[in-house]
A and B are shown apart, each in its own frame.
Chain A
Amino acid sequence: MLVEGAIAGESAAEYAKKVDMPEIDEKQIEKLMEKALNPLKRKDGVKPAELKKRIQRMAHEKLGPVRKREGIEELIRFIEVVKEKELPKLYVSSKNRKYNKEWIETLELENVIQILELSAKSALMRTESRGVHYRLDRPYTDNNNWLKEIIIKKVNNKIDLTTRPVTVTKLPLPRGVIPYIEMMKKVMEAHSEIGGHH
């Protein structure tokens, strides 16, 4: 690993020598600085720790391994409200930028919400159950329609979800629609020393 790191470093330096520096968009920097520093300037608003707790609770309840359509939709509505009304009001009580846990959490929460939104929207799109995605309203693995990967793209500042077929190399893919719970029982039996009687 160390050798690879050294090689990567050397070739990065080699590359950097050859290329021109891209022009820095000062306006963009200003905008990002303002966004990052605003929570330090606000005197009151939404507390990061409190919002984080609520997001965690909602994600756990609505997007745990066992989920259903209504719950996921509820979570998506919750995310919309958080994005619109709460993230812009986050405030940090200590104004010191050194080792400021609350500030770190504030900056992280925007990413947390983004990842959660993408997960929720893909979970809603996958109208079957597979692995740790067990949809109570679709309790079967649908190999006829869902041997697919979901691709998420940002198009015109909006989330765009599409699918593409999985890549097949050697192993043939399973076919048919299989009830999820029965399949899980079979998998457990096959992989367990005590016949899946856990």
Chain B
Amino acid sequence: MPQKKIKVKMFKFDPAVENEPHYKVYEVPLTEGMSVLDILDYIYENIDSSIAYYDHAACRHGLCSGCIVVVNRKTCLACQTPVSGDITIEPPSKFKVIRDLVYTPSQIMEEQV
């Protein structure tokens, strides 16, 4: 059986060089049990290593909530959300984007900085 491929539509935005965000579609071979974070890892490792998503200190166990994203218009943790078909991945806030899916988490954090 040929491997199932899904289309991943991802929010891309680099405020340093772009005026507004756009979306990019990646085709990813789906294996059973893949999470949204696995999908992002796959894209980073095999297709586009320029994508930005929270990963450097992610616990990958649903505890740290660092990998929070919006998948198909629903807010979720990338590491805990299984993938079964085409998806759209966006940051939780499109107004505080640092780059792609990485954003400034909350007002409180901003005030502390």
Contacts and interface: CB of A to CB of B under 8 A. Distances in A.
Contact of A93 (B17, B49, B98, B102): B49
Which bucket holds chain B's interface residue count? 10 to 19
A101 interface: yes
A53 B45 contact: yes
Contact of B50 (A50, A53, A94, A104): A94
A104 B98 contact: no
A154 interface: no
Contacts, number: 38
A96 B51 CA distance: 11
Contact of B16 (A47, A48, A98, A104): A98
A53 B98 CA distance: 27
A93 B50 contact: yes
Interface of B is mostly: loop
Contacts of B23: none
A93 B16 CA distance: 15
Contacts of B14: 94, 96
Given A96-B17, A98-B16, A104-B56, A47 B49 contact: yes
Interface string B62-105: 00000000000000000000000000000000000011001000
Interface string B6-18: 0000000010110
A147 interface: no
Residue of A96, A102, A104 ringed by the most chain B CB atoms within 10 A: A96
A100 interface: yes
Nearest to A47: B49
B52 A101 contact: yes
B44 A101 contact: yes
Given A100-B52, A101-B55, A49 B45 contact: yes
A53 B41 CA distance: 12
Contacts of A99: 52, 98-99, 102
Given A49-B44, A53-B45, A98 B50 contact: no
Interface of A: 47-50, 53, 93-94, 96, 98-102, 104
Shortest 3 CB-CB contacts between residues of A and residues of B: A94-B50, A49-B45, A99-B102
Interface of B: 14, 16-17, 44-45, 48-53, 55-56, 98-99, 102
